[in-house]
Chains A and B, each alone.
Chain A
Amino acid sequence: MSINTSSIPLPAWLEIGLIPVLNIVMALFFSGLIMLAIGVNPIEAVGIMINGAFGYDEAIGYTLYYTTNFIFTGLAVAVAFHANLFNIGGEGQAYIGGLGVGLVFLLLDKYLPMILLIPLGIMAAGLFGAAWAYIPAWLQAHRGSHIVITTIMFNFIASSIMVYLLVNVLIKPGQMSPETRQFDESSWLPFMHEVLGWFGMEVTRSPLNLSLVFALLCCVFVWVYIWRTRWGYELRTSGQSEAAARYAGIKPKTVIITAMCVSGALAGFVAVNEIMGVHHRLLLNFTAGYGFTGIAVSLMGRNHPVGIIMASLLFGVLYQGGAELAFEIPKITREMVVAIQGLIILFSGALALMLRPWVVQGYLKFKPVDEVVPA
Chain B
Amino acid sequence: MEALSGFFAILDATLRVSTPLILAAMAGLFSERSGIVDISLEGKMLASAFAAAAVAAVTGSAWLALGTGMLVGVVLALVHGFACITHRGNQVVSGLAINILASGLTVVLGIAWFAQGGQTPSLGSDARFMPLELPLAEAARAIPVIGTFYADVISGHNVLVYVAWVAVFATWWVVYRTRFGLRIRAVGENPLAVDTAGLSVSRLRYSAVAICGALSGIAGTYLSTAQNASFVREMTAGQGYIALAALIFGKWRPVPAMLACLMFGFLDAVAIRMQGVVLPVIGEVPVQAIQALPYILTVILLAGFIGRATAPKAVGIPFLKER
List residues of chain A with CB under 8 Å of any chain B CB. Answer: 4, 34, 37-39, 86, 88, 139, 143-146, 148-150, 152-154, 156-157, 160-161, 163-164, 168, 292, 295-296, 299, 331-333, 335-343, 345-346, 349-354
Contact = CB atoms under 8 A, between A and B. Distances in A.
A161 B296 CA distance: 12
Contact of B105 (A143, A156, A342): A342
Nearest to A153: B295
B292 A156 contact: yes
B93 A148 contact: no
B107 interface: yes
Given A152-B241, A350-B90, A161 B97 contact: no
B83 interface: yes
B100 A292 contact: yes
A143 B228 CA distance: 41
B248 A164 contact: no
Contacts, number: 151
Contacts of B90: 86, 349-350
B302 interface: yes
Contact of B92 (A148, A331, A333): A148
Contacts of B98: 342, 346
Given A157-B292, A299-B93, A335 B100 contact: no
Contact of A331 (B37, B87, B100, B112): B112
Given A4-B323, A296-B100, A338-B104, 19 more contacts: A39-B112, A143-B303, A143-B305, A145-B304, A149-B298, A154-B299, A160-B288, A161-B292, A299-B93, A339-B105, A341-B100, A342-B101, A342-B105, A343-B97, A345-B97, A346-B98, A351-B83, A352-B89, A353-B89
A334 to B, nearest CB: 9
Nearest to B323: A4
Task: Please give me the 5 A-B residue pairs with the lowest Cβ-Cβ distance, nearest first.
Answer: A342-B101, A338-B104, A339-B104, A350-B94, A145-B302
Given A343-B101, A352-B89, A292 B96 contact: yes
Contacts of B89: 349-354
B291 interface: yes
B102 interface: yes
- Main secondary structure, interface of A, reads helix
Contact of A338 (B91, B103, B288, B323): B103
A91 to B, nearest CB: 12
Contacts of B278: none
A338 B112 CA distance: 15
B88 interface: yes
A157 B107 CA distance: 26
Contacts of B131: none
Of residues A156, A161, A164, which shows the largest number of chain B Cβ atoms within 10 Å of its Cβ?
Answer: A156
B83 A161 contact: no
B108 A148 contact: no
A345 B96 contact: yes
B103 A144 contact: no
Of residues B112, B305, B311, which shows the largest number of chain A Cβ atoms within 10 Å of its Cβ?
Answer: B112
A337 B105 CA distance: 9
Interface string B96-121: 11111111110111011100001000
Contacts of A337: 104
A88 B47 CA distance: 21
7 contacts: A144-B304, A153-B245, A156-B241, A161-B292, A338-B104, A339-B104, A346-B101
Interface of B: 37, 39, 79, 82-84, 87-94, 96-105, 107-109, 111-113, 118, 238, 241, 244-245, 248, 286, 288-289, 291-292, 295-296, 298-299, 302-305, 311, 323
Given A150-B299, A152-B39, A292-B100, A336 B288 contact: no
Given A148-B39, A339-B104, A351-B89, A88 B96 contact: yes
A161 B96 contact: no
Contacts of B305: 143
A37 B93 CA distance: 26
Contacts of B291: 160
Given A143-B303, A349-B94, A333 B295 contact: no
A123 to B, nearest CB: 27
Contacts of B92: 86, 88, 148
Contacts of B79: 346
Contacts of B244: 149, 152
Given A157-B295, A299-B93, A342 B100 contact: yes
Contacts of B112: 38-39, 331-332
Contacts of B108: 34, 38, 332-333, 335-336, 339
A111 B96 CA distance: 44
Contacts of A161: 288, 292
Nearest to B100: A342
B248 A342 contact: no
Nearest to A143: B303
B107 A333 contact: yes
A265 to B, nearest CB: 21
Contact of A346 (B97, B303, B304): B97
Contacts of B107: 333, 335, 338
